[in-house]
Amino acid sequence: MAEHRSFPRQYLAPVQVPRLATSSIDGPTSPIDPHPPLPAYVSPTSYTGPSFAQYDYAGPPNDPAYSPDAQRQYLYGQNTIPVSISRSASSRTAPLPLRTHPRRGLGGLVPELSLERTFFYTLWFLLHMAILIPMCVKASGSSKYLPKDPVIKIFAIFGNASGYCICFDAAFLLLLVSRNFLAMLRATLISRFIDVDKNIHAHKVAGWTLIASTFVHVLGYYVKFINQAAVTPGGKVTASSLLFGTLIGATGNAMVVVLFIMAGCAVARVRHANFELFYYTHHLFLVFYALLIIHGSCSVDENKQFVCTATSDFWKFLLIPGAIYLVERITREVRGRRTTQISRVVQHPSRVVQIQIKKASVKAGTGQYIYINCPEISRHQWHPFTLTSAPEDDFISIHMRVAGDWTREFAERLGCETESSKGTEQAKRYNPIRSRTLRRPGGRGGAPAAAASDFKPGEVVKTFGLPRIMVDGPFGTSTEHVFDYETTVLIGAGIGVTPFASVLKSLWYRTTQPGKLAHLRKVYFIWICRDIQAFEWFQDLLVALEEENLGDFLEVRAYLTGRLSEDQIRNLAIHSTEEGPDALTGRKTPTYFGRPNFDQIFADIAAQQLRKKVGVFFCGPKKLATTLRQVCTTYSSAAKSGELGYGTQFEFHKEHF
């Protein structure tokens, strides 16, 4: 049995990104050509021409070729992608990339239809047709309840039949939010045919389908009732009395109001601007389902009287999904009340807070996620966070980006400094590069059990208890399949790197344990960041991996897409060397400037991994996900058709939670 491996203690403390000094661009002239050609990209390890320092000091100080604008063009105006993703193979000729351009339909409203999504939409449409057509036939057979006008009759038939689609959609929505039920499905053979990780997308589709079915249902009955009032002699029945003066009409209109409040607050723009508004209005679903049960029990008898009976069909749709959802809610409450203790808090740059939680009985896998609730802030709000700890760790950890009201208040209760808690002047003096560590000194709360002098320099000891939290999970994601491939590509954008931190840390543990890597033989890790300071989040982990000399197994490539200041550009020229560590991060692997050219990267991977199936795992923005999905589809299709002779297949996976 292999000896248990502990993460090196020297890599547990926060590691600072080297601070860039300031300097003047003026300096001595250089004998080199004052206008040498610019390199294809700015990596100091692969560029063999003049160094950054030579570019900085070459030519007269006032030469426009070496002005700040020229330096910015030098860093941002060139292609930042190397010929090969492999540093060891950078000298060979790269394969010609295939040009891939993501297609966007309907003005960008509908994402590109992959084969998987086409199958889902087709199946979803056929299911509704299987419900709608028989119900239309059944409704048309009840001629004594239908208007005599043929046009009005069509409205009435579709209005009645669409009610069954509403029942189906409403019941299906409950299954899609039952995350424990979906977690059980992931462990079965069903997960081979249905991607349960895309339940959020399916939930949105079902929601919009429910709205469409509601529109048809409401339109059909409005037309029917208005016509019924018009043909009733003596004005005994009015349209308003039918639509609002009856139980079936009142509940129906109330459901429409509730549904459109929920849908309006669930739009991405509203949800991102005010998550609390979305969260609480979405819980109006309880009112919606209560009204739906009452509304579905109402009907019209033979005397055209509105009555409520126990012969409704809605309960047949709701019975099983409703029972599953009820068990789901009970499970969440029971599991969420388990004792959970925060053991360590680290405040990182770029508004990111690392939280370590004692593992207790939680059994977490690679790249899974949990839901966290802080009763001191809100008893009912649960927020998902990806685990950045490895299964081999004796704790679980998350990296939380402070991006909203709830996360900001949670960070402040953990003792972290935010702009609102420090004040403007103090915020200006605060050095965002330095990480602050907060530990629970002892016990489960209350006053510290040790003096501040017992802790390392740079750590901050809280003088009050950390807040109590409740944890639900963990839940699986597609990242769990990383070790099922022989070659894996991990791509994280910004805070989307968190699931891959768990994977990389698990790789670090497994490298010394024979058989633990399963089929995995090669890992490409690509991290795209806008902010320099974001690279500090997992600096300790990346340094530890570099110390293992895993060059043939793991290739790390970091891309900086944000603009640098003029002082930073000058200092890159001073401190960058061909043999030394990266001037920005202090790591052996260089930092590349600009956005990755995925056409070239995937062409190179295809050339290196001949006739292999490559798993591509991504976490980040939707637009980039669309681009990567298209690149994977293009290269896989080219391999199948023989256009690209490498035979390499790319399977794309995106994080959904």
State residue 196's pLDDT score: 78
Predicted confidence (pLDDT) at residue 15 exceeds the cutoff of 70: no
The answer to whether the CB of 532 falls within 8 A of the CB of 509 is no
- DSSP lists the bridge partners of residue 524 as 489, 555
Arithmetic mean of pLDDT, 105-128: 68
pLDDT at 450 over 60: no
Structure confidence by residue, pLDDT tens digits, 18-37: 333 333 333 333 333 333 33
Among 126-135, 147-156, 284-293, 415-424, the minimum mean pLDDT is found in 415-424
Least confident piece of the model among 258-262, 330-334, 367-371, 462-466:
462-466
Over residues 132-144, the mean pLDDT reads 80
**Residue found under tokens 């039949």:** 161
Tell me whether the CATH fold assigned to 341-475 matches the one assigned to 477-654.
no
Look at residues 345, 343, 498 and name the one whose alpha carbon lies nearest to residue 412: 345
Q: What is the pLDDT of residue 261?
A: 94
pLDDT at residue number 97: 57
Q: Give the model confidence (pLDDT) of 547-574 as tens digits.
A: 777 777 888 888 888 777 777 677 666 6
Q: Return the CA Rg of the chain.
A: 30
Three-state DSSP class for 593?
strand
Please name which of 316, 289, 326 lies closest in space to residue 181, comparing C-alpha atoms.
326
Pick from 234-248, 265-279, 452-466, 599-613: least confident: 452-466
Better-scored residue on pLDDT, 33 or 127: 127
pLDDT digits (tens, 9 = 90+) for 78-115: 433 333 333 333 333 445 555 554 444 433 334 455 66
SS3 category, 434: coil
pLDDT tops 70 at residue 453 = no
Note the pLDDT of residue 620.
87
| pLDDT over threshold 70, residue 603 | yes
> What is the rounded distance in angstroms from the CA atom of residue 644 to the CA atom of residue 169?
43
- Exposure of 205 in the CB half-sphere (CA atoms within 13 A): 18
Out of 77-81, 203-207, 529-533, give the one with best mean pLDDT: 203-207
Domain covering 477-654 in this structure, CATH number: 3.40.50.80
Please give the share of the chain, as a percent, with pLDDT higher than 70: 66
| Residue 215: pLDDT over 50 | yes
| DSSP state string for 359-418 | -TT----TT-EEEEE-TTT-SS--EEEEB-S-TTSSEEEEEEE--SHHHHHHHHHTT---
Long-range Cβ contacts of 256-264 (<8 Å, 24+ apart): 256/214, 256/218, 258/284, 258/287, 258/288, 258/291, 259/210, 259/211, 259/214, 259/288, 260/211, 262/288, 263/207, 263/211
Predicted local confidence at residue 126, as pLDDT: 94
Out of 83-87, 213-217, 367-371, 638-642, pick the least confident.
Answer: 83-87
Rounded CA separation 348/311 (Å): 60
pLDDT at 555: 85
Q: Please report the pLDDT score of residue 586 as a whole number.
A: 63
Which structure tokens are listed for 467?
């807040």
- Confidence label for 38 from pLDDT (cuts 50, 70 and 90): very low
| Average pLDDT for the chain | 71
pLDDT (0 to 100) of residue 633:
85
Q: What's the rounded mean pLDDT across residues 526-554?
A: 77
Structure token digits, residue 472: 């639900």
What gap in Å lies between CA 393 and CA 123, rounded to an integer? 42
User: What pLDDT sits at residue 417?
Assistant: 74
Which residues neighbour 560 within 8 Å (Cβ) at sequence distance 6 or greater? 529, 530, 532, 535, 584, 591, 592, 593, 594
What is the token pair recorded at 635?
């290269």
pTM across the whole model: 0.68
Per-residue confidence band for 157, with pLDDT thresholds at 50, 70 and 90: confident
Evaluate if residue 295 carries a pLDDT over 90. no
CATH architecture for segment(s) 341-475: Beta Barrel (2.40)
Q: What pLDDT is attached to residue 255?
A: 93
What are the extents of the domains in the chain?
A: 113-335, 341-475, 477-654
Confidence class for position 70, pLDDT limits 50, 70, 90: very low
What are the beta bridge partners of residue 649? 613
- The pLDDT of 43-50, averaged and rounded, is 35
The pLDDT, as a whole number, for residue 288 is 94
Q: What is the pLDDT of residue 448?
A: 33
Task: Average the pLDDT over 48-71 and give the result.
Answer: 36
Q: With 80 as the cut, is the pLDDT of residue 185 above it?
A: yes
